[in-house]
Amino acid sequence: MQKKRDAWKSRLGIIMAVSGSAVGLGNFLRFPVQAAQNGGGAFMIPYFISLLLLGVPLMWIEWTVGRFGGGFGHGTAPGIFHNMWRKNRFIKYFGVIGIFGPLVIFIYYNYIASWTLAYAVFSAVGKYGQVTDQNTMLSLLKGFQGIEKNQFFSNIQSAYIFFLITFAVNIIIIYKGISGGIERLCKIAIPTLFVFGIIIAVRVLTLGAPEAARPDWNIINGLGFLWNPDFAALKSAKVWLAAAGQIFFTLSVGMGVILTYASYLKKTDDVALSGLTAASTNEFAEIIIGSSIVIPAAYVFFGPHQIQQIAADGAFNLGFVTMPLIFQRIALSAFFGCMWFTLLFLAGITSSVSMAQPSIAFLEDEFNISKKKAVIIFSVISFILCQPAIFFLKHGVVNELDFWGGTFCLVLFATVETILFGWIFGIGKAWEEIHHGADMKIPRIYKFIIKYITPLFLFCILGFWFYQEGIPVIMMKGVSQADKPYVLGIRLMLLAMILTLAIMVRVAWRKRLGNKK
């Protein structure tokens, strides 16, 4: 007998939860860096094109497909895909990607989220209060991560304690379920991080006049560095790929998470307006708040020349090295520093719990086991899988996990689900399903976009991405000889994970067939 599935308590709850999954570290760290590195304001042209032709259609597809699958008692892609194409007995195995991808992201994202919690505490107690330059602040970060031993940290013990706390918070929230855990968290965390973000953005945008010796180091030019377009950059395929990749990250599409969240909706619940609202909430966090903090503030304090290097150094240095130095130079530095890292922690935790839910739902729905047992199984396995990201960080393990789980799988899964939705399920039936219980009429042009433009866009991304980045990554180009054994070990671990999930799908379906007989 199939047990009753969990459900959202309110429409606001599901919107906040999906927004929480989407609003993550990438909104406040990755987005401004991507924009600064890829033509400034010119980056926003392919960004908005990708949003309209890729992000919004995929968001509607995943909300609709998830609600459809939930009606058959399935909360993850294998079961949902099976019910969309019953004649094909292999399609459910493609759905494994929708569990594998989020699980891979979970096992390294948790550790990164724990850094934000640690730095919120460091800000409050003045741990980095005496550090005045980038190199020393970077040394503090590396010491904390266990990459090197220095005057700040002699081992990884502090980082591991904060990881344990963060991991425990994730498990407690997941254990409390969809309505009692995730919905309750997101209803508190999302408004809080928005308030924190607006306060910090206002403080940055009202920084005082620049020193007489450097009049160009002002907030207007800081915003200009991010938003003034370099149209020559539009000729580069790399810029278009970066913009499309950012859309995947920022909306959490192609992961399988939205499918799982939407599977807890009722058949009559709206997905058209709710999905658009969740996407709009995320875009506000990214475009309005995310672009108004880190790059403009760094420009004011470090100038037009050093800001290029800061952007090139990536999101980690920007968030954990540059921003603490900036907050030290303004009044109430401990207050703003603690608020910044608390904002990042809330963004991280609402995203990480969403990455865990597909695995939990898979165990509950396909093996008909209790929430408690599913959470225990997930906790033990994911905790073990988290360890390489912690202890082998300096050997490129996180980059490897991020490529396969947070890059390649996203594009591949999105391509599969789009073809399945628009062509196999059928665009006519799909269009009817989207509008069932809808509170808005989706523009008819999207019927054409979903069937033709979005899959074509995805095939182009997949092809160019594989050619430009996939082949070099597979061949381990740029990986040092010392790191290659670790990278190879991670690949074997990932291969074992996806094979195990495929075997579990096979076992679950055999069990279902046996029960029917």
Q: Which residue has the tokens 């741990």?
A: 127
The alpha carbon of residue 186 and the mean position of all alpha carbons in its chain are separated, in whole angstroms, by 15
Query: Mean pLDDT, to the nearest integer, of 450-477?
Result: 87
135 pLDDT band, cuts 50/70/90, is confident
> Other C-beta atoms within 10 Å of 433: how many?
19
Q: At residue 231, does pLDDT exceed 70?
A: yes
Question: Phi and psi at residue 311, in whole multiples of 5°?
Answer: -65, -40
Query: Mean pLDDT, to the nearest integer, of 440-464?
Result: 93
Q: Which residue has the tokens 């396969």?
A: 404
Q: At residue 242, does pLDDT exceed 60?
A: yes
3-state SS, one letter per residue, for 137-167: HHHHHHHHHCCCCCCCCCCCHHHHHHHHHHH
Give me the pLDDT at residue 295, please: 84
Higher pLDDT, 314 or 261: 261
- Per-residue buried b or exposed e for 165-186, using 16+ beta carbons within 10 Å of the residue's own CB: ebbebbbebbbbbbbebbbbbb
Q: Which amino acid is at 308?
A: Q
Give me the pLDDT at residue 215, please: 80
Give me the pLDDT at residue 469, please: 73
**Angle formed by the axes of helices 11-22 and 272-283, nearest 10°:** 40
Query: Mean pLDDT, to the nearest integer, of 496-512?
Result: 94
Ordered by where they begin, the domains of the chain are 11-516 (1.10.4160)
Give me the pLDDT at residue 250, please: 87
Residues 6 or more apart in contact with residue 52 via CB below 8 angstroms: none
Burial class (CB in 10 A: 0-12, 13-18, 19+), 443: exposed
Query: Mean pLDDT, to the nearest integer, of 482-502?
Result: 96
Helices assigned H by DSSP within 290-408: 294-312, 315-317, 323-328, 333-367, 371-391, 397-403
Q: Coil, strand, or helix at residue 229?
A: strand
Length of the chain: 517
C-alpha to C-alpha distance for 57 and 448, rounded to whole angstroms: 10
Report the candidate in 104, 97, 93 with the shortest Cα–Cα distance to residue 508: 93
Q: Which residue has the tokens 């082998």?
A: 392
Q: How far is CA 159 from CA 118, 314, 424, 451, in A?
A: 8, 21, 48, 47
CB-CB contact of 5 with 262 (8 Å): no
Give me the pLDDT at residue 245, please: 83
Question: Phi and psi at residue 269, in whole multiples of 5°?
Answer: -70, 140
Round to the nearest angstrom and report the end-to-end CA distance of the chain.
14
Q: Which amino acid is at 430?
A: A
Q: How far is CA 163 from CA 14, 33, 144, 160, in A?
A: 27, 26, 12, 5
The residues with which 40 forms a beta bridge, in sequence order, are 229
Question: What is the token pair recorded at 256?
Answer: 């399988």
Report the candidate in 131, 145, 149 with the shortest Cα–Cα distance to residue 393: 145
Structural Rg of the chain based on CA atoms:
22
CB-CB contact of 17 with 183 (8 Å): yes
Q: How far is CA 39 from CA 4, 43, 284, 394, 460, in A?
A: 51, 5, 21, 30, 21
Q: How far is CA 498 from CA 62, 97, 283, 491, in A?
A: 22, 8, 32, 11
Over the stretch 77-134, which tens digit does the pLDDT of each residue have? 999 999 999 999 899 999 999 999 999 999 999 999 999 999 999 999 988 888 888 8
Q: At residue 243, does pLDDT exceed 90?
A: no
The residues with which 229 forms a beta bridge, in sequence order, are 40
211 pLDDT band, cuts 50/70/90, is low
pLDDT above 90 as % of the chain:
64
Cα torsion angle, 459, 399, 135, 158, sign = positive
3 pLDDT band, cuts 50/70/90, is low
Over the stretch 7-66, which tens digit does the pLDDT of each residue have? 899 999 999 999 999 999 889 888 888 887 887 788 889 999 999 999 999 999 999 999
Q: Coil, strand, or helix at residue 88?
A: coil
